[in-house]
Structure 1
Amino acid sequence: MNETSLTALFILLVGLIILSAFFSSSETGMMSLNRYRLKHMANTGHKGAQRAQGLLNRTDQLIGVILIGNNFVNILASSIATVIAIRLWGDAGIAIATLLLTIVILIFAEVTPKTLAALFPEKIAFPASHILGPLLKLLYPLVWTVNLFTTGILRVLGVSSAQASEDHLSREELRTVVNEAGALIPARHKDMLVSILDLENVTVNDIMVPRNEVVGIDLEDDTDTILRQLRSSQHTRLPIFKGDINNIQGILHLRSAARLLQEADINKAMIMQLCQEPYFIPESTALNTQLLNFQKGKRRFGIVVDEYGDVLGLATLEDILEEIVGEFTTDYAATSPDIIPQDNGTFIIDGSAAVRTINKTLGWHLPTDGPKTLNGLITETLENIPDTNVCLKVGGHRIEVLQIKDNVVKAAIVHPKRKKKRGRSL
C-alpha cells in the first residue's frame, strides 16, 4: 500500500468519524427537543420545526435510520482503522487501532457532539432534519425491515408500541412547567395560572360569604323598613326571604328595584314580581365546576346549601374570579376589613374571617383542611370554647384571643410566624 492510498484512507476515516458525530448529535438533538415548544414553532410556520416534528411523529423510523447510519459508519471506520494500523505496525496494529479508535470515537463522535446537542437541541436537530428526511426515504426499505424484526421481538417480550404514553401533561406537571418558566412569564401571571389549576381543589364552601354575614330582605319586615334597606344597600343583588334565611323566595337585582323606588305606592307583591328564581349551589361544588355553571346559566349569584337544604351562605362570580386574579385591591382595610394591621407587626383579626382569606391576604399558611374561619380554627385547636382570653399556637403563629361573645371568638391578635435564627459559630 503506497502513501497516496494510505492518505486517502486517513481522509476517509476522518470523514466517517464526522459522519458518526453527525448521527450521534442528531439522535440526541431530536430526542432532546421540547415537544411543546416544537409544536408551537411548527404551528407558527417554522420550517425546521415542521420537518423535525414530522420525523418525530415516526420515532421508530427516525431512530432506525439514525442507528443504521451510525452503526454503518462506525463499523466501516473500524475496518479502515484496522487496515491502516496493520499497514503501519503489523499484527500489533489491531490492538492499537482498537484502542485509539475507541478513544477518538468516544471523544469526537459520541460525548462531544451529544453534549452539544443536549445543550442546543434546536440548533442541531433543525439543520439535521434536512439530511435525515431524504435519508429516511432512501433507506426506507431497510428501516422498515429492521423495525419489523424489532417489533416482533418486542411482542415476544410482551411489549407493544401502543403502550407508549401519549405526550400529555398532567396538572402537577403543568404546574411545574409554569413555576419553572422563569422570567418568560411574569410572576403575577404565574400566580393566576397556578390559581386556575387549583380551582378544582377549592369548593364554594371555602369562598362563600357565610350565612351570618348575608344581607337580605325579610318580607316579614314592614314596607318602610324594606324600602330604607333597598335605598341604602351597598350590594347589587339581595336575597329575599320570609322570616328565616332558609326560606328564600327569590333574588332581587337593585337595578330592577330602582324603577320601583320611583313609584309612590309600593307593596311587597310588587317587589316579588321583580325577583328572579333563587339559584342553589351544593356546598361541595368545586370552583372550576361552579364557574362553568355560572357561565352556562348566565348567572353571577348563588345560594350555598348543605346536604339538608339549609342555607350556609352565598357565592358570587366575583368571589371565584378573585381566586384566580386575587383581590381587586392591595389595601388591607379594603381587601379584608376583618384584618387590621398593628404598628408592632401583629394583626387584629375578626373571628369570622375565613382562614383562606387570611392566608391569601397576608401570605400565611394557616391550615385550611379543617375549620373555615379563625373562630373555628381556635376552638378546634383548644377542643373547647374558651371562656376567657387565652393564648395558643397554630401553624407556627401565636394567637391571643381578644374578645369572646356568645360562645364565639369575636376577635384575636395573631402574630406572624417567627423566622428561625441561624446559629453562629465562634
Structure 2
Amino acid sequence: MMAINRYRLKALAKTNKNAKRTERLLEDLDPLIGTILLGNNLVNIFASSIATILAIKLWGDGSVILASLALTFIILVFAETTPKTFAAKNPEKIALPASIVIEAFIQIFKPFVWLIAQLSQGILAILGIKEKSDTGDISSEELKMVVNDAKPIIASNYQKMLLNIIDLEKVKVEDIMIPRHELISIDTSKPDEIIKQLQRTQHTRLLTYDTSSNNITGVLHMRNVVNLYAKDAFSVENVLALIRKPYFVPEGTSLAHQLKHFQMQKRRLGLVVDEYGEIRGLIVLEDILEEIVGQFTSNQNESIDEVIKQEDGSYLVDPRVSIRELNALLNTNLSVDKAKTLNGLILEELQSIPKRDVSIKIDNILIDIIQITDRTIKLVKLTKIDPS
C-alpha cells in the first residue's frame, strides 16, 4: 500500500475499481494503518500464545524459550521480510486485490481503531506533540525528482524543458535582463537627428527618450517604421506617433509571474525598475522563453562572440556576459546570488577594480584579467580546473 506509485495509481483509478478503492484508502491513512497494525499484532500475539501452550504440553516448561526463538524466526522470514519485500517490489499486484479485504476489515474494526486512535492522540497531547495536518502539497524539489525519475518515458529535451519551467519561479527578471548601459535609445527632442539614428540602428526595438536618457518616453518598433516606408508615409511626425508607452516591471519579479503578465498585457518587453523607479534594464519575452527551451538560433552568434574557446582549452570572455548564460555555455556552476554578470562577480570577490594580469580563482574556475580600463574589466580568460 505505501510503496505503490501514487501518480500511476491515480491514472489506474480512472479505469480500475480496485485502484480507485486503494486510492480512497490511502487518502485517510489513520484507519488504514490502524486496522493493519491491529490485525498484525493480534495474529502475532495469538500465534505466540498458541506456540507457548503447544511447547509446554509437548516438551514441558523448558521448551518455551526454544519455541519463542523458533516462532520469531518463522515470523521474520515467512510473515515479515519475505512477503513485505515481495509486496514492495510488486505493489500493484498485491495492493489492488488486497484493498477489498482491507476495506472490509476497516469497517469491522472501525470502533476499535477509532478508540485506539483517540487514546494515542490523547497520550501525544499530554507529551506536547500536536497532530500536523498534511495538505498533500508537493514542493518544487519533489516535483523535479518526479520529472527526473520519468527519464524512460520523457525525452531528455522535454525533460530539461519541464525542469526549466519548474525553476522559473526562482529566477528573477534582473537575472536575465539586458543591462541599462547596453540599451539603445533615440532622442525624440531632436527631430532632425531621428532619421539618422534610425538609419544607424541594428535593433528591431528602440527606446525613446526626451532630452535626457533617464526620461524614457516609450518603445519604437522598427517593423512599424518600415511599414511607413512601404506606405510612402514616412515622416518624423508619423514615426513619433508610433511610439508606444513604456511598460514597467518591478525588480524582483519572478519569470513565472512576468510571463503571465506579458500574456495578460499583450506585451513582449518591459523596463525593469528598482524601488526608486530608476531603470535597471530591459526584459524581453524571448529571453524568458529561452530560459525554458534554450537559446534560439538568432541569439547563438551573440553568445559565441562573448565566449571564444582557445586551442589550450581556455576561453576568452567578455565579462559583461551574464553568469547564467556563462554557466549554460561552459557547464559551470558560478553563483548568481550576489552578481548577475561575470564582471560583477569578479568585482564582488576582489572588492576593487583589479589590475591587468591579476588572476582570481572562483570555485573551479581560474580567471585571468587580460584587458581593463579605469572603470571596468574589458576581457578575461577563463580556465576550468579539474577538481581532483
1:355-366 equivalences in 2 (<5 Å): 355-366=323-334
CA–CA distance in structure 2, aligned partners of residues 246 and 409 of structure 1: 25
* Aligned pair partner of 1:114 in 49, 60, 84: 84
Q: Match for residue 104 of structure 1?
A: 74
Matched, 1:54 2:24: yes
CA–CA distance in structure 2, aligned partners of residues 418 and 114 of structure 1: 48
Matched, 1:300 2:271: no
Number of aligned pairs?
388
Q: CA RMSD in A?
A: 3.0
CA–CA distance in structure 2, aligned partners of residues 226 and 289 of structure 1: 36
* Aligned pair partner of 2:194 in 201, 226, 232: 226
What amino acid does structure 2 have at the position aligned with 1:203?
K
Contact preservation (8 Å) 2:339, 2:348: yes
What amino acid does structure 2 have at the position aligned with 1:55?
L
Distance 1:74-1:299 versus aligned 2 partners, 3 A rule: same
Contact preservation (8 Å) 1:62, 1:136: yes
Q: Match for residue 235 of structure 2?
A: 267
Matched, 1:399 2:367: yes
212-221 or 103-112, which deviates more = 212-221
Contact preservation (8 Å) 1:202, 1:287: yes
Distance 1:167-1:34 versus aligned 2 partners, 3 A rule: farther
CA–CA distance in structure 1, aligned partners of residues 134 and 305 of structure 2: 50
Q: How far apart are residue 221 of structure 1 and its match?
A: 4.5
Moved over 6 A (4+): none
Contact preservation (8 Å) 1:219, 1:268: no
SS in 2 for 1:378: helix
Distance 1:160-1:36 versus aligned 2 partners, 3 A rule: farther
Q: How far apart are residue 187 of structure 1 and its match?
A: 3.6
**Structure 1: runs of 5+ lacking an equivalent:** 1-29, 422-426
263-272 or 124-133, which deviates more = 263-272
Q: Match for residue 33 of structure 1?
A: 4
Q: Match for residue 179 of structure 2?
A: 210
**Structure 2: runs of 5+ lacking an equivalent:** none
Q: How far apart are residue 71 of structure 1 and its match?
A: 3.0
CA–CA distance in structure 2, aligned partners of residues 380 and 156 of structure 1: 53
CA–CA distance in structure 2, aligned partners of residues 381 and 147 of structure 1: 58
What amino acid does structure 2 have at the position aligned with 1:338?
E
Q: How far apart are residue 149 of structure 1 and its match?
A: 4.1
CA–CA distance in structure 1, aligned partners of residues 319 and 40 of structure 2: 71
225-234 or 347-356, which deviates more = 225-234
CA–CA distance in structure 1, aligned partners of residues 282 and 298 of structure 2: 24
TM-score (norm 2): 0.87
Identity across the alignment (%): 45
Contact preservation (8 Å) 1:327, 1:335: no
Distance 1:141-1:352 versus aligned 2 partners, 3 A rule: closer
Q: Which of 1 and 2 has greater Rg?
A: 1
1:91-147 deviation digits (Å, cap 9, x = unpaired):
445444333222212221122222222333332211211211223233434444444
Matched, 1:71 2:41: yes
